[in-house]
Amino acid sequence: MPLQIPDPLLGAWVKGFPARASGLHLSEVAGAELHLSDLVTPVLTVHEDALAHNEATVFSWARDRGVLLAPHGKTTMAPALWQRLLDAGAWGISVATPWQAEVAVDAGVPTVLIANAVTDAAAAARLGELLAADEGLRILCWADSLAGVEILAEALADADRPLDVLVELGGAAGRTGARTVEEGERIAGAISSAPGLRLAGVAGYEGPFGPDRSDASVAAVDRYLQTLVDLHERLAYPEGIRPVLSAGGSSFPDRAAAVLARSERADVVLRSGAFQIHDDGFYSRMSPFGELTGTAPLRSAMHAWARVLSQPEDGLALLDAGRRDVPFDIDLPVPQSIAGEITALNDQHAFLRLDEGAAVSVGEVVRLGLSHPCTAFDKWKVVAVIDDPDAADPRVIGAVATCF
């Protein structure tokens, strides 16, 4: 199903695009004969071939294991990239907030999974309005407390169609989620008793239980995932519904697929979202794709390009990309076209310490590998799509708009 893809008119508000692109619609960028050298640094780009490779790798793996994907749309908040996921066979698109859900519904996503509790009564009522307006739309959300169920129930008491609600189960030292299976059962009972709600499954997030891929972390993740299965197996669902058993995160999708598949009476839905873009930092260390899954490894589809502003000391260069432009919440950017290290970021500057013997010139452009796509895309309203980041002057073959 084709989505409604934003097609704004480019202008000075678009960071990274040159003045000669002003007046073009986003959809016209592909035919504008732009190259990377035409763009204004700092600039973020995505690589078409890497996108296609990552999508094909993960969707093929998921099909082989009989699991469904609802990739987390909040990673990019880009309907054009969501379209690619749906075209590849995504069951739906996950989001984190009611506002993001409305963006997805407005774009035309038919199945939207809010991977969070909705405790805003007005937002819950709005979900009811969206469901009433489109019989083909499915929205699911989570609840991890009786108080949360009560808010949903009151907001949707007179709803034309029930809202599908999954019990969120967490664990000690986790994030949100009921802390015990027994508590999850009580929440499920409250959902089942509310006229405007429908018990639709069990969900959780395994990320907090495994900070790395060590044996101890994998065992902790598996133990947590098994509690989701245990709760699911205890629940009685409404007649005619195929319950959802869902876990998320891009670090342990292999474990989620293996453990959740132990239940045969549910659709196992994985919410991994970073795989489409991947990175050169955290996910390059954590992703199982490659040897652990028997697939090709994923490739980073994003790069930043920054220009040397100054060389005030021997071995030090200042680049024009800073915290406004590149992610820094997990790892600092990594220079890829010159030997050195980014040691710090200011709002609009990066400190590049050059390796011995390495040299750059003022005005030279440096390619940066990035960590964590979720906090890369939120800094850009429009992202250029290029054909080959290794080319002498990559060609701009399109652009995507984000909706942050």
Angle of helix 253-260 relative to helix 48-65, nearest 10 degrees, comes to 20
Q: Is residue 296 within 8 Å of residue 59, measured between CB atoms?
A: no
Omega prior to 42 cis, within 30 of 0: yes
Look up the pTM and report it: 0.96
One DSSP character per residue, 13-32 reads TSTT--GGGTT-BGGGGGGS
Q: How many CB atoms lie within 10 A of CB 145?
A: 18
pLDDT of residue 286: 94
HSE-up (13 A, CA, CB side) for residue 226: 6
Phi and psi at residue 396, to the nearest 5°: -85, 115
Provide the residue count of the chain.
Answer: 404
Residue 357: both structure tokens together:
């013997």
pLDDT at 52: 98
Q: From CA 284, how far away is CA 133, in angstroms rounded?
A: 42
* Domains of the chain as residue ranges with CATH: 19-47+298-401 (2.40.37.20), 110-272 (3.20.20.10)
Query: Which pairs count as long-range contacts for 81-89, CB under 8 Å and 24+ apart, including other chains?
Result: 81/51, 81/276, 81/400, 82/3, 82/107, 82/109, 83/2, 83/3, 83/5, 84/51, 84/55, 84/276, 85/55, 85/276, 86/1, 86/3, 88/55, 88/56, 88/59, 89/59, 89/63
| Dist CA 185 CA 250 (whole Å) | 28
**H/E run at residue 352:** strand 350-354
Give the model's pLDDT for residue 264: 83
In single-letter form, the type of residue at position 136 comes to: G
| Distance in angstroms (rounded) separating the CA atoms of residues 396 and 28 | 11
Check if the beta carbon of residue 95 is closer than 8 Å to that of residue 118. no
> Would the CA dihedral through 217, 218, 220, 224 be positive or negative?
positive
Q: Are 8 and 383 in contact (CB under 8 A)?
A: no
* The pLDDT of residue 345: 98
CB 269 within 8 A of CB 246: yes
pLDDT score at 248: 87
What DSSP line would sit under 108-145, residue for residue?
A: T-SEEEEEEE---HHHHHHHHHHHHH-TT-EEEEEE-S
In a structure prediction context, what are the per-residue pLDDT tens digits for the chain, which is 404 residues long? Answer: 799 999 999 999 999 999 999 999 999 999 999 999 999 999 999 999 999 999 999 999 999 999 999 999 999 999 999 999 999 999 999 999 999 999 999 999 999 999 999 999 999 999 999 999 999 999 999 999 999 999 999 999 999 999 999 999 999 988 999 999 999 999 999 999 999 999 999 999 999 999 999 999 999 999 999 999 999 999 999 999 999 999 988 899 999 999 999 888 999 999 999 999 999 999 999 999 999 999 999 999 999 999 999 999 999 999 999 999 999 999 999 999 999 999 999 999 999 999 999 999 999 999 999 999 999 999 999 999 999 999 999 999 999 999 99
The sign one gets for the Cα dihedral 224, 227, 229, 235 is negative
